[in-house]
Amino acid sequence: MTGTLKAIMAQTICCPCGTPIDCDHVELVITATCPRCDRELPLELDHSFGARRAMLTIMEGPHWVGEQFIMPVGAALSIGRASGNWLCLDAADIADTHCRLTLAASGAVIVEDLNSPAGTWIGPQRIVRGHLAPTGSLRVGPFRFRFDIQTPEGRIVAPDGRDQSDSELSLPTMASVKRKNSPAQWAARNRFILARWIILTLASIGGADFTLHLRARPPAPWNWNKALIAGALVWLITSFAGRHVTLIHNYLKYASLGLTVALALVGLSFGAGAFATASLCAAAGLVVLIMREPQPWLAFGGALIGAFGLIVLTRDLTQLIRIISSGG
Ligand SMILES: [Zn+2]
């Protein structure tokens, strides 16, 4: 049950300055660095009971139902309508700066109302300053949040320290979450995972095709099987050691963009128009991939253009390797 819900619920890290922090393998990140204010945000609570995080989940509201926000430790986290808040919620009955949450390393959360006209509520009580306990609910305008202490794998820990089963929690129904997070939004949010699967599929098809056609030819000095094994190894390492390779992964994103632009320039200088166009298409797809919050239609268009560019590039490069390996 937890697994399926986690697949739909996206986990987001926001800096107290309001900047969303984009990182792969969110479940493995211990501290995140804000790209705007360079602030280092600790995300894990005291280690005395193992790795745990404080999480605010939107249970009800006009949008983002099911979205989970990982709370940074020790910072003042403001919620309000104006930009620059930790969570910027644009809805009626929410003040520009509505309330402020502070999370201690022990997991204790203090909520302060900042003179909001509609008020801040913990459970059934309107508060000026209050303590939000794990599994407790917080209401800000039309939004209702649930506060949890979770393990990085998504297991929810009850206030007394033991694991809690999902049946004890009033999670939003799957139907309501699915309705409010459209497939386009899901695709835009999970674009890195999608891009990896597309690249892996293309590489597999290319590798299989090349291997099948290679049987009739003399063995090449370089073959796709080795490339596929190397690719699978990189895939496994980045999947399981994400906590340590997030930084390298970020550099790789920009390195591949630089490579595609360089290929386009090479193509242009040698008068290979189709090759240059394909490289530019792949570069355009990568730009959309790297963007922090692309519009769903832009993400979809970028994915199409990028996939087209990659297919043409793979074909051209395969032909080039064939020509080189057959001795000119
Ligand atoms: Zn920041």
- The tens digit of pLDDT for each residue in 146-203 reads 999 887 766 777 655 555 544 444 444 444 444 555 677 667 666 666 766 776 677 6
Q: How many angstroms is it from 158 CA to the middle of ligand 1?
A: 31
Higher pLDDT, residue 285 or 226: 285
Q: How remote is the CA of residue 14 from the centroid of ligand 1, in Å?
A: 8
Task: Say if residue 93 is exposed, middle or buried (CB neighbours under 10 Å; 0-12, 13-18, 19+).
Answer: middle
State pLDDT tens for residues 203-250: 666 666 666 665 555 555 455 666 666 666 666 665 555 444 455 556
For residue 33, how far is its CA from the centre of ligand 1 (angstroms)? 8
Buried b (16+ CB within 10 A) or exposed e, 273-288: eebbbbbbbbbbbbbb
Q: Check residue 170 and give its pLDDT.
A: 47
Predicted confidence at residue 147, as pLDDT, reads 93
Separation of CA 84 and ligand 1 centre (Å): 9
- Domain-ending residue, one of 179, 208, 228: 179
Residue 75: give the domain boundaries: 2-179
Are residue 220 and residue 298 in the same domain, yes or no? yes
Domain shared by 102 and 139, yes or no: yes
Mean pLDDT of 75-96: 90
Of 119, 147, 179, the position where a domain reaches its end is 179
Q: Are residues 63 and 118 in the same domain?
A: yes
Tell me what the mean pLDDT of segment 133-158 comes to: 85
Burial class of residue 131, CB neighbours in 10 A (0-12, 13-18, 19+): exposed
- Are residues 236 and 102 part of one domain? no
- pLDDT, position 47: 67
For residues 16 and 149, membership in a common domain is answered with yes
Kindly state whether residues 250 and 299 are assigned to the same domain.
yes
Mean pLDDT of 81-99: 90
Q: What is the pLDDT of residues 46-57, one digit of tens each?
A: 866 567 889 999
**End-of-domain residue from the set 179, 211, 228:** 179
**Residues 54 and 137 both lie in one domain:** yes
The mean predicted confidence, pLDDT, of the chain is 76
CA of 103 to the centre of ligand 1 (A): 17
Q: Are 66 and 156 contained in the same domain?
A: yes
Indicate if 22 and 131 belong to the same structural domain: yes
